[in-house]
Chain A
Amino acid sequence: MPSSSFKIIITIDGKEIACKPNQTVLDVAIKNNIDIPTLCYNPLFSEHRIGACRMCLVEIMAGGRPGLEPSCTLPVSSGLSVSTTSEAVYQARRTVVELLLSEHVQDCRNCMKSGDCSFAELCRDYDINGVSVCAECPNQEEGCLLSRNVLCLGPITYAGCNAYCTRKGYRCEGCHTVMANEDILRFGLKAYKDQGFSKDEILEAAKVFSFDSVIKLEKLMIEEGFV
């Protein structure tokens, strides 16, 4: 076994970095402020890495079997060269986020992670239209504009703006348009209903969206038992 003082040089995104044996690529990246997103990795349990979420995939360019490997379990070896930004890496990570989102209960308004949700950030980073403005909005419960009887469009609008308006206390105007996923829309409409907004009020506010979207919202509201 090589002694721990023995230095290994690896290349991450074209930059040569010296590192210690027994380190993984992720360890090296964290130390050198190279951004690799993670989900199942927990620094508290750094001895126990399972490589399950596949979020930290990097592409091996040289010094190993070419292809994607999770950086959290990829041991450093001299001559290893990886890319954290290649197209393959981007697409694979994007698929992971998309797949996870497809399983996710997106009731962002009632989620305690709202406003500080790394998953919502990943959606933004990987350009996935999936979560609502509430996911990015830090105003929980009493801070929520809805509870102050302001008809905020946040619960039914795509995120991506980092909740620019609601952070400042203004209601969401629906810039990123209404969400397509009916399940999420129902969560939002339920929130409106609980606050006692009427169908007409919501339709009035939703006029910023396309005509088809308004029709769809109306249909859903009838199904949800709005008056």
Chain B
Amino acid sequence: MKISNISDLDKMAREGEERLYNTHAQLIFGLGTCGIAAGGLPLKEFAENYIDEENIKADIISVGCIGMCHAEPLVDVKLPGKPRVTYSEVDLEKLKRIIDQHLIGGTPILDMALCQLTKEMSECEYGIIDEPEPYDGILTYGELPFFSKQQRIVLRNCGIVNPEEITEYVARGGYMSAFKALHDVARGGIIDEMKISGIRGRGGAGFPTGLKWDFCSRAPGDVKYMICNADEGDPGAYMDRAVLEGDPHSVIEGMVIGAYAMGASEGYIYIRAEYPLAIERLEKAIEQAERFGILGERIFGVDFSFRIHIREGAGVFVCGEETALIHSIEGKRGEPRPRPPFPAASGLWGRPTNINNVETWANVAMIIQRGGKWFSSMGTMKSPGTKVFSLVGKIERAGLVEVPMGIPMKDIIYEIGGGVPDGRNFKAVQTGGPSGGCIPAEHLDIGVDYENLKTLGSIVGSGGMVVLDEDTCMVDVARYFLTFTSEESCGKCTPCRVGTRRMLEILDKICNGHGEMSDLDILKSLSVQIRDSSLCALGGTAPNPVMTTMKYFMNEYLEHIQQKKCFPSVCAAMFKSPCQNTCPAETNVPGYIQLINEGRYVEAYEVNRENNPFPSICGRVCEHPCEPRCQRGQLDEAIAIRELKRFCSDEAMKANQPAKITTLDKVDKTVAIVGGGPSGLSAAYFLARLGYSPTVFESAPKAGGWLRYGIPKYRQPHDVLDKEIEDIINLGVELKTGIAIGRDVPFSKLKDEYDAVYLAVGAQLDKKLGLEGEDLPGVLPGLQVLRDINSDKPVAMGEKTLIIGGGNVAIDVARTAIRMGTEVTLCYRREEQDMPAYDEEIQHCKEEGVVYHFLVSPEKLIIENGKAVGAVFRKNVMGDFTKWGRRKPEPTDETIEVRADSIVVAIGQNLDGEFAKDFELKLLSESNLIIADDGLVTGDPKIFAGGDAVLGPASVIEAIGHGRKAARSIDMMLSGEDRLAELEKQNFKDYGMEEPKNEEILMRQSSKELDAQDRTCGFEEVVMCLDEECAKKEAFRCLRCDLSANTGGDE
């Protein structure tokens, strides 16, 4: 049947509507390539057999991708007159339940259902979804965060209609625009409408489409061609594929309208051969369109004919460039040529040709249907309309999203995408594929449109958005994209052919740890030259990934070149194992785990001591940055590295042998260390081993600093600390306690008497709330409380304690207060998952009976009789996301009042600025921290600084790492060589170097803990050591990344 009048088309629409909404029960499978890859096909087969066997009256339908690729396979159930309900991540078992309970039984499974489709969610105006009564207890599509900010024009039918059924497309208003255009609109009128819409090419460059059409239609010549560019080659971009698989008719309709407007009779769709499903569906769609007279001779009975041919490309990236694409269709080698002449004047076989991207063509029908003005009302002034992005990478909800242009980047990443998974931090988003760039967190506020991204050095491109988290090495990202472009360079012009290869060689050199500073200059100038002098856009944009990473992540390049360090543990040539690379003290983790595995526990302890004088302490309180990086975590669970450290330390304590520590010969040089905390003592430890005579000045009566006066005893008993400090003293360290530099000994004296000074004074000043009455009795600073309790001074907490803050100090005070028998309430301004304290501590705290109030900010203190007796808090709600991915707490009208006998303020610490002034050092203006370079050298070359005084409140292991680094820098200054590395090599242990055979799933062993009731009656240690059997089991799990090249990185 050929359609020649509107009633034919209407009839088709009725038929489609019948299929879409009014038939019997439907079971709908999302079978785009993503659905198939996730295992959708076996599900469909199962359903077909099951329905056959059980004789159920239901249709099984496959549709394209609706965009929620993270939730595939998707199965929807639509009962007549009821909303369509979507089930996500369906497996055979779930599918059987869905069929039994929902399809046959008629009741949706509330706990499994993801959402329901109750009303039209796209900009489609025809054949819209009838609005049935929603089911109770299931979210609607609009309520899902993934869809709430989307505006769907291009994806209007994707996942809704059966792509292989033309009537369903017609029912959704399809081919109405083409009919209207061919019958009622003058050719110029169509182009005018496109111009009014302001739509810009969605393939990447963003050239105004209306203008392009105008050029082509004005070009002289009888024969003209339409081309649809479906050669989607960017890594991480797949929106064209989704449109062609989910709604091929929308592209065909766009091309018919374009062909009519510009006077073409032949069209080509150039599509990658790697998209077999899209090709198959496209072929079916073309065949159907021809059957109904929508393609072919006398379309819609009008004197106009148009045919579409499919050309498969061999997957060459450069063939996405229009002149190369034309060459490829002509059967020539896919190489670009200089423009002008532009294809609009001389394109395919020398004839005027118009090339648009799939997404641009898919927009055309809607623009004609609803008018250019409607289209230009969306998006921004310069970039109207919507854009489909494929959101992939380290993102919670990966998928295809269509959003209005100008939407802030952070909305796409956090609200739609749900942010970065696994508690990792966001680092950058890569847009535009190999031609684009990386945008860092500080620019996430920008609205996404052509101009803004260009200012940042990136491009919109075809719309790929790859989210990168903290585990990504930006130098490696640049290298990855340059590998791609240098391989895909067609080799025609010199800058792109040779230049990209030279750049890649330099990046390889940097990633292999051989980079030099001059390489950065060469990279910079080569980037500019290649950008400006290449023949086509491939070369012209190839340096973008390098340029943007150098612009925003120069620090990572410098780390690779100067420190030969790849902190995210990606560039495998620079480190042995990710755990060792991540440890601030660079502990040989695989080494000591292997020794535990071999039953050599004391030696394991010695390996620990080589880099860290406090293994017993770190075995208990280390924040273990190594564990999240453990490669075993990708297989089953990370190794319990900290528990193993604790185990070998406890074994060594039991063995009670004098620890073997290598030392170098005595040197006649002295070093003063200010501060006897972990950082100062570590520096003393390493300096003493290097032969120096360090003197540690500590103002408190005993050494240990934060380890003694900060960490409560139930986490870390003091006898362990005393033992490890004693070992340090025995190396020949002089310890002077009770002496405050500046008060008892002037700083200038240190400078004169010692060859070097290391400042490890910590950050000991409690931050203040800034409220009236903070100095009155009843208000206690958090650190002060911990200090007093740990030095066994009486602290009056009263019966009720209120703690303000959510960090480690707040939690430590809370747990201590509980042990002193008071009722504890903890108030924090954000939500639980935002608390900066360690998760396990928060959990312990809860078990022990601390009451939490989240989302409250202190507003004023309640003062009675000259004493603070409570505080008034303003309730917050979580507001917009900040660009760092945390929601901002926004105050509400509500307040609450909490009364207490004592109020502990633990909202952070600062360095005592007054104290640091004596040193005449430069301080950071806001936080009063000392400024020191990578080698911890301050402005004065004799004075070094590290630990909290430089970092702000940091972890124990960071402080120890700084102590080690300072010792190394001091040694390098005094002796002129790097002797620490030499020293550490001396204590070589011969342990097993065979590849372990442990790739089966083995779950992590965990330590036993005291019951909550037993804990709170005293200060007994809560977490117990692993027993020997568990420890050996755990040690056996180590994959030994140090042995081979399987050190993670880019798989």
The A interface, classified by DSSP as helix, strand, loop or mixed, is: mixed
B532 touches A99 (CB 8 A): no
A91 touches B493 (CB 8 A): no
B492 touches A96 (CB 8 A): no
Considering the chains assembled together, what is the distance between the CA atoms of A70 and B495 in angstroms?
Answer: 13
B498 touches A68 (CB 8 A): no
* Distance of B502 from chain A, by nearest CB (Å): 6
- Look across to chain A and name the residue whose beta carbon is closest to the beta carbon of B530: A95
- Look across to chain B and name the residue whose beta carbon is closest to the beta carbon of A94: B529
Task: Decide if B494 is an interface residue (CB 8 Å cutoff).
Answer: yes
B337 touches A99 (CB 8 A): no
- Look across to chain B and name the residue whose beta carbon is closest to the beta carbon of A59: B532
A92 touches B533 (CB 8 A): yes
Instruction: Tell which of A51, A52, A75, A102 has the most Cβ of chain B within 10 Å.
Output: A52
Which chain B residues border A92 with CB–CB below 8 Å? 495, 529, 532-533
Given A54-B533, A68-B532, A68-B533: A96 and B494 within 8 A (CB)?
yes
Given A54-B535, A95-B526: A102 and B494 within 8 A (CB)?
no
Which chain A residues border B533 with CB–CB below 8 Å? 54, 57, 68, 92, 95-96
Considering the chains assembled together, what is the distance between the CA atoms of A92 and B338 in angstroms?
Answer: 17
B535 touches A99 (CB 8 A): no
- Per-residue interface assignment for chain A, residues 106 to 137, with 1 indicating a CB less than 8 Å from any chain B CB and 0 otherwise: 00000000000000000000000000000000
- Per-residue interface assignment for chain B, residues 497 to 511, with 1 indicating a CB less than 8 Å from any chain A CB and 0 otherwise: 011001000000000
B338 touches A95 (CB 8 A): no
Task: Decide if B976 is an interface residue (CB 8 Å cutoff).
Answer: no
Considering the chains assembled together, what is the distance between the CA atoms of A75 and B529 in angstroms?
Answer: 23
* Distance of A10 from chain B, by nearest CB (Å): 15
B338 touches A99 (CB 8 A): no
Task: Decide if A73 is an interface residue (CB 8 Å cutoff).
Answer: yes
B337, B529, B532: the one within 8 Å of A51 (CB): B337
- Per-residue interface assignment for chain A, residues 3 to 47, with 1 indicating a CB less than 8 Å from any chain B CB and 0 otherwise: 000000000000000000000000000000000000000000000
B498 touches A73 (CB 8 A): no
Which chain B residues border A96 with CB–CB below 8 Å? 494-495, 533
* Distance of B196 from chain A, by nearest CB (Å): 25
Task: Decide if B423 is an interface residue (CB 8 Å cutoff).
Answer: no
A53 touches B494 (CB 8 A): yes
Which chain A residues border B534 with CB–CB below 8 Å? 54
* Distance of B751 from chain A, by nearest CB (Å): 42
Task: Decide if B340 is an interface residue (CB 8 Å cutoff).
Answer: yes
Interface residues of B in 517-532 (CB under 8 A from A): 525-526, 529-530, 532
Considering the chains assembled together, what is the distance between the CA atoms of A102 and B501 in angstroms?
Answer: 10
Considering the chains assembled together, what is the distance between the CA atoms of A69 and B536 in angstroms?
Answer: 11
Considering the chains assembled together, what is the distance between the CA atoms of A118 and B638 in angstroms?
Answer: 62
Interface residues of A in 56-73 (CB under 8 A from B): 57, 67-70, 73
- Look across to chain A and name the residue whose beta carbon is closest to the beta carbon of B499: A99
B493, B502, B530, B532: the one within 8 Å of A102 (CB): B502
Considering the chains assembled together, what is the distance between the CA atoms of A96 and B533 in angstroms?
Answer: 9
Considering the chains assembled together, what is the distance between the CA atoms of A68 and B492 in angstroms?
Answer: 17
Considering the chains assembled together, what is the distance between the CA atoms of A37 and B134 in angstroms?
Answer: 74
Considering the chains assembled together, what is the distance between the CA atoms of A50 and B530 in angstroms?
Answer: 18
Which chain B residues border A67 with CB–CB below 8 Å? 532
Given A68-B532, A92-B533, A96-B533: A52 and B498 within 8 A (CB)?
no
* Distance of B345 from chain A, by nearest CB (Å): 11
A-B interface pairs (CB < 8 A), number: 55
Given A53-B493, A99-B502, A102-B502: A88 and B338 within 8 A (CB)?
no
A52 touches B494 (CB 8 A): yes
Considering the chains assembled together, what is the distance between the CA atoms of A92 and B493 in angstroms?
Answer: 13
* Distance of B533 from chain A, by nearest CB (Å): 4
- Look across to chain B and name the residue whose beta carbon is closest to the beta carbon of A55: B494
Which chain B residues border A55 with CB–CB below 8 Å? 494
- Per-residue interface assignment for chain B, residues 14 to 58, with 1 indicating a CB less than 8 Å from any chain A CB and 0 otherwise: 000000000000000000000000000000000000000000000
Instruction: Tell which of A55, A68, A75, A96 has the most Cβ of chain B within 10 Å.
Output: A96
- Per-residue interface assignment for chain A, residues 86 to 100, with 1 indicating a CB less than 8 Å from any chain B CB and 0 otherwise: 001001100110011
- Look across to chain B and name the residue whose beta carbon is closest to the beta carbon of A72: B338
Given A67-B532, A91-B529, A95-B533: A100 and B494 within 8 A (CB)?
yes
Task: Decide if A103 is an interface residue (CB 8 Å cutoff).
Answer: yes
Considering the chains assembled together, what is the distance between the CA atoms of A96 and B526 in angstroms?
Answer: 10
Which chain B residues border A100 with CB–CB below 8 Å? 494, 498
A99 touches B493 (CB 8 A): no
* Distance of B489 from chain A, by nearest CB (Å): 12
Which chain A residues border B495 with CB–CB below 8 Å? 54, 92, 95-96, 99
A52, A73, A88: the one within 8 Å of B532 (CB): A88
Given A91-B529, A95-B529: A51 and B494 within 8 A (CB)?
no
Considering the chains assembled together, what is the distance between the CA atoms of A88 and B532 in angstroms?
Answer: 9
A54, A69, A73: the one within 8 Å of B494 (CB): A54
* Distance of A186 from chain B, by nearest CB (Å): 20
Which chain B residues border A54 with CB–CB below 8 Å? 493-495, 533-535
- Look across to chain A and name the residue whose beta carbon is closest to the beta carbon of B340: A75
Interface residues of B in 464-508 (CB under 8 A from A): 492-495, 498-499, 502
B499 touches A70 (CB 8 A): no
- Look across to chain B and name the residue whose beta carbon is closest to the beta carbon of A103: B498
A70 touches B338 (CB 8 A): yes
Which chain A residues border B535 with CB–CB below 8 Å? 51-52, 54, 70
* Distance of B542 from chain A, by nearest CB (Å): 13
Given A95-B499, A96-B533, A99-B502: A52 and B526 within 8 A (CB)?
no
- Look across to chain A and name the residue whose beta carbon is closest to the beta carbon of B534: A54
Instruction: Tell which of A57, A68, A95 has the most Cβ of chain B within 10 Å.
Output: A95
* Distance of B666 from chain A, by nearest CB (Å): 39
Which chain A residues border B532 with CB–CB below 8 Å? 67-68, 88, 92
Interface residues of A in 177-208 (CB under 8 A from B): none
Considering the chains assembled together, what is the distance between the CA atoms of A68 and B493 in angstroms?
Answer: 14
Which chain A residues border B530 with CB–CB below 8 Å? 95
Considering the chains assembled together, what is the distance between the CA atoms of A92 and B337 in angstroms?
Answer: 19
B492 touches A50 (CB 8 A): yes
- Look across to chain B and name the residue whose beta carbon is closest to the beta carbon of A92: B533
- Look across to chain B and name the residue whose beta carbon is closest to the beta carbon of A51: B338
* Distance of A224 from chain B, by nearest CB (Å): 25
* Distance of A86 from chain B, by nearest CB (Å): 12
Considering the chains assembled together, what is the distance between the CA atoms of A57 and B494 in angstroms?
Answer: 12
Which chain B residues border A68 with CB–CB below 8 Å? 532-533
- Look across to chain B and name the residue whose beta carbon is closest to the beta carbon of A96: B494
Which chain A residues border B498 with CB–CB below 8 Å? 99-100, 102-103
Which chain B residues border A70 with CB–CB below 8 Å? 338, 535
Considering the chains assembled together, what is the distance between the CA atoms of A41 and B390 in angstroms?
Answer: 43
- Look across to chain A and name the residue whose beta carbon is closest to the beta carbon of B502: A102
Instruction: Tell which of A54, A57, A91, A100 has the most Cβ of chain B within 10 Å.
Output: A54
Which chain A residues border B526 with CB–CB below 8 Å? 95
Considering the chains assembled together, what is the distance between the CA atoms of A88 and B525 in angstroms?
Answer: 12
B493 touches A51 (CB 8 A): yes
* Distance of B529 from chain A, by nearest CB (Å): 4
Considering the chains assembled together, what is the distance between the CA atoms of A96 and B499 in angstroms?
Answer: 9
* Distance of B881 from chain A, by nearest CB (Å): 39
- Pairs across A and B, CB under 8 Å, 14 listed: A51-B535, A52-B493, A52-B494, A53-B493, A54-B495, A54-B533, A55-B494, A68-B533, A73-B338, A75-B340, A91-B529, A95-B495, A95-B529, A99-B495
Q: Give 4 nearest A-B pairs by CB, closest first.
A: A99-B498, A51-B338, A95-B529, A73-B338
Given contacts A52-B492, A99-B499, A100-B498, list 15 more A-B pairs with CB under 8 A: A50-B337, A54-B493, A54-B495, A54-B535, A55-B494, A57-B533, A67-B532, A70-B338, A92-B532, A92-B533, A95-B495, A95-B526, A96-B495, A99-B498, A100-B494
